[in-house]
Amino acid sequence: MIGVLGELLLTTGVVMMLFVTWQMWFGDMIIGSQKQAEASALAQQWQAGAPVAPSGSDGAAGDPGVVPVLAEPGRGAEFGVMHVPRFGPDWQFTIASGTAKKAILDEGYIGHYDGSAMPGAEGNMAVAAHRWTSGAPFDPVDRLVIGDAIVVQTQDGWYTYRFRNVEYVQDTAIEVLNPVPQQVDLAANGRFLTLTSCAPKLNMLERIISYAVFDEFTPTADGPPASLTEGVDA
């Protein structure tokens, strides 16, 4: 009887160590690839559902210079997919509305801060995602290089932002979410994208904040933009 108890305890210990191993090295790969497959399906669905561009006219899309902006959807709605060529051709995660920890972030979504700008809109589009656990969408966020494309795809098309700079802040630095990041009482004067995540990795002492500025919009009907596949020498 004692022997069986001992074996059970040993087995429990081994399983717990296996869990730590999984959490550290395998879980994000397994969950992440699942989340990326879901994001890919969503992106392809938008692309397939796009109206064919009427040749020689702009159709309903209006002026090519006008960037369509979605209305902010209800919490939890999956309204975008983020692609970053720097992180690999398969790196894509779904952007959902809101940053609730359990419902959004822990589900492997990139969460869009309530009230922050929508893709393409004047102001600051701020998003958050896990750097570790739950598929860890922003695991590689510290590998961005100046000028890297960060492409946000919605049903309307692709919004290409260009990475500009990174900074590390305290977790109280909510100014990074301002219409002009880090500027108090300044009205929006550009289109920014702000990625927030944890730093150092496996830790929550500080936050890593990556800023990007809007570059161009490509309607769905025009097909994927070059920024999506631009060669990145790793």
Active-site residues, by number, are: 130, 198, 207
Nearer to other proteins, 100 or 188 (CB): 100
Nearer to other proteins, 133 or 182 (CB): 133
CB of 34 to other proteins, least distance (A): 9
SS (H, E, C) the chain: CHHHHHHHHHHHHHHHHHHHHHHHHHHHHHHHHHHHHHHHHHHHHHHHCCCCCCCCCCHHHCCCCCCCCCCCCCCCCEEEEEECHHHCCCCEEEEEECCCCCCCHHHCCEEECCCCCCCCCCEEEEEECCCCCCCCCCCCHHHCCCCCEEEEECCCEEEEEEEEEEEEEECCCHHHHCCCCCCCCCCCCCEEEEEEEEECCCCCCEEEEEEEEEEEEEEHHHCCCHHHCCCCCC
CB of 57 to other proteins, least distance (A): 45
Give the residues lining the site for other proteins (CB under 8 A).
Answer: 3-4, 7-8, 15, 18-19, 22-23, 26-27, 30-31, 99, 101-102, 105-106, 128-134, 171, 196-198, 204, 207
CB of 62 to other proteins, least distance (A): 37
Nearer to other proteins, 15 or 145 (CB): 15
CB of 113 to other proteins, least distance (A): 10
Nearer to other proteins, 57 or 172 (CB): 172
